[in-house]
C-alpha cells in the first residue's frame, strides 16, 4: 500500500508545557480536528492513552460517523506527542507533534505519515492535509485566547 509523509510547521503563542498538556488529553481533539465530534472509551495504561474518536462526515442531510482507534504515546514528555490512528478502509496514520521553545512562543512541527489503499489516495491525502492545516489554526487560536 502507498505511504505518504508530509509536515507542517507553525508558531503558537504559548509555552510548550501548555500546548503539550492540551494535546495529551483526548478530549482536546473534539473540534481541534475539524471532523472529530466526540471521544469515547478513553483508556490510560502506563505512558499511552487509547481512545475512539468519532469523525463525522456530512453530505447534506446524510451523516456518517467514522470510528477511529487512536493510541497516543509520549516518547519525549513535554516535547513530543505521537498519535497512531487506525481507520476503516485500511487507512493508517501516524501524527507526530514536536514542540520547540522559541522565546515566548513555541515552534510546532506536525509530521503526518499515512498509509492507504491506492484507490483512496485523493480522498485520504486531501482530508489529511486539510485536517492538518485546520488543526494548526485551531490550536493557535485556542492557545492565543487563554
Instruction: Provide the grid cell at 72.
Output: 497516543
Output phi, psi for 125, to 5 deg. -70, -40
How do residues 43-93 score in pLDDT, each as one tens digit?
999 899 999 999 998 888 899 999 999 999 998 888 999 999 999 889 999
How do residues 87-146 score in pLDDT, each as one tens digit?
988 999 999 999 999 999 999 999 999 999 999 899 889 989 999 999 999 999 999 976
Walk me through the domains of the chain, giving residue ranges and CATH numbers: 3-28+71-144 (3.30.530.20)
Q: Name the pTM for this structure.
A: 0.92
The secondary structure of 55-112 as a DSSP string is EEEEETTEEEEEEEEEEEEEEETTTEEEEEEEETTTEEEEEEEEEEEETTEEEEEEEE
Amino acid at each position: 500500500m502507498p505511504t505518504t509523509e508530509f509536515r507542517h510547521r507553525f508558531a503558537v503563542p504559548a509555552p510548550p508545557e501548555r500546548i503539550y498538556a492540551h494535546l495529551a488529553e483526548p478530549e482536546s481533539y473534539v473540534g481541534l480536528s475539524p471532523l472529530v465530534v466526540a471521544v469515547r472509551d478513553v483508556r490510560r495504561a502506563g505512558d499511552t492513552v487509547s481512545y475512539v474518536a468519532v469523525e463525522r462526515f456530512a453530505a447534506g442531510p446524510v451523516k456518517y460517523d467514522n470510528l477511529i482507534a487512536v493510541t497516543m504515546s509520549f516518547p519525549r514528555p513535554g516535547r513530543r506527542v505521537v498519535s497512531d490512528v487506525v481507520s476503516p478502509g485500511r487507512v493508517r496514520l501516524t501524527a507526530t507533534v514536536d514542540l520547540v521553545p522559541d522565546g515566548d512562543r513555541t515552534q510546532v512541527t506536525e509530521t503526518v505519515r499515512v498509509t492507504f489503499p491506492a484507490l483512496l489516495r485523493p480522498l485520504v491525502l486531501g482530508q489529511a492535509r486539510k485536517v492538518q492545516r485546520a488543526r494548526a489554526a485551531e490550536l493557535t487560536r485556542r492557545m492565543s485566547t487563554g
